[in-house]
Amino acid sequence: MESLSLDRQSAVPLYFQIHLHLLKEIRSGRFKAGKPLPSEELISKRLRVSRMTARQALKSLCSLGVAYSQRGKGTFVSEIKLEKNFREVQSFTEEMEARGSRPHSKLISSEVVPASEEAAEALHLQPGEKVIRIRRVRVADTLPMGVETTCLPHELCRDLLEKFDPRHSLYRTLSQVYGIHIVQADEVVEAGLADSEESRLLRIPKRSPVFLFTRTSHIKSGKAVEYVKSTFRGDRYKITNRLGQFSNDNSLGGKA
């Protein structure tokens, strides 16, 4: 706190400068888990900002899950570790890079076809409307991890098959070429056994345990832009989830 001086000319909002500073101090161990952060009043006085600005900084830490507030008591550092590998919405590519593996993909097929019934429903398309369908084997380092079939509305990105190298990240191409940013995904996971095609592609014994994923991805407005079915091997792939922290999110701020 003492060392921080705010840059009032900066494009970075004051509350976010304070947010970043507190976050750094928490990570450095200056503020320990379970211990109070400076109060709104104190931040307000020390840094000469209004209490609402100080409050917004603290609230944005709460919405990150780094801190929590208790009325009448203060705002405290959460004991929950953030750095664990929880699944955000991210492509296979990003997920593997985050785990320290080198991801790539082998293309099985890519084509424009009429949407299947389930894909049409998930993507809110008329029956028979066209989708781009890409089938790939997903590989981490040299280990085949899963087989994935992705469907995107053809309307959304007509020339995708020319612009997209299937060995790289689809999400990055969507984001960089088309400005389509996937921010949320709804997913159903089932446990099953590998069929013969899957066991051949993944080089695992037939009837090995596998995860079956069905995922619908959304952009910020909630519009569905991707429908994916995939099979991942159960012996090498784990899912890490964080549940909750939805309904108890009394947040006042936050930054993308």
* 174 C-beta neighbours (distance < 10 Å), count: 24
Structural element, H or E, at residue 211: strand 209-219
Supply φ then ψ for residue 26, to 5 degrees.
Answer: -65, -45
Kindly tell me which of 127 and 209 has the beta carbon lying closer to its own copies. Answer: 209
Residue 39 binds what, of DNA, its own copies, none (CB under 5 to 8 Å, by partner type)? DNA
With contact defined as beta carbons under 8 Å apart, do 173 and 250 qualify?
no
**What is the footprint of DNA within residues 13-42 (CB under 7 A)?**
13-16, 37, 39-42
Q: Which of 102-110, 128-136, 167-175, 190-198 is the region at the interface with its own copies (rule: CB under 8 A)? A: 190-198
Rounded to whole angstroms, the Cα distance separating 184 from 218 reads: 5
Contact residues for 172 (Cβ-Cβ < 8 A; gap 6+): 91, 93
Q: Which of 50-58, 136-144, 165-173, 211-219 is the region at the interface with DNA (rule: CB under 7 A)? A: 50-58
Kindly tell me which of 57 and 145 has the beta carbon lying closer to DNA. Answer: 57
Which two tokens mark 253? 């701020």
- For DNA, which residue of 103, 153, 166, 253 counts as binding (CB under 7 A)? 253
Residue 191 lies near its own copies (rule: CB under 8 A): yes
Kindly tell me which of 46 and 124 has the beta carbon lying closer to its own copies. Answer: 124
Residue 71 lies near DNA (rule: CB under 7 A): yes
Q: How near is the Cβ of 159 to its own copies at its closest, in Å?
A: 25
Ordered DSSP codes for 178-193: H---EEEEEEEEEEEE
Q: How near is the Cβ of 29 to DNA at its closest, in Å?
A: 20
- For DNA, which residue of 27, 32, 51, 223 counts as binding (CB under 7 A)? 51
Supply φ then ψ for residue 61, to 5 degrees.
Answer: -70, -40
Q: How near is the Cβ of 117 to its own copies at its closest, in Å?
A: 19
Per-residue contact string for residues 67-106; x = within reach of its own copies by CB under 8 A: -x-------x-xxx---x-xxxx-----------------
- State the burial class of residue 247 (Cβ atoms within 10 Å of its Cβ: 0-12, 13-18, 19+): exposed
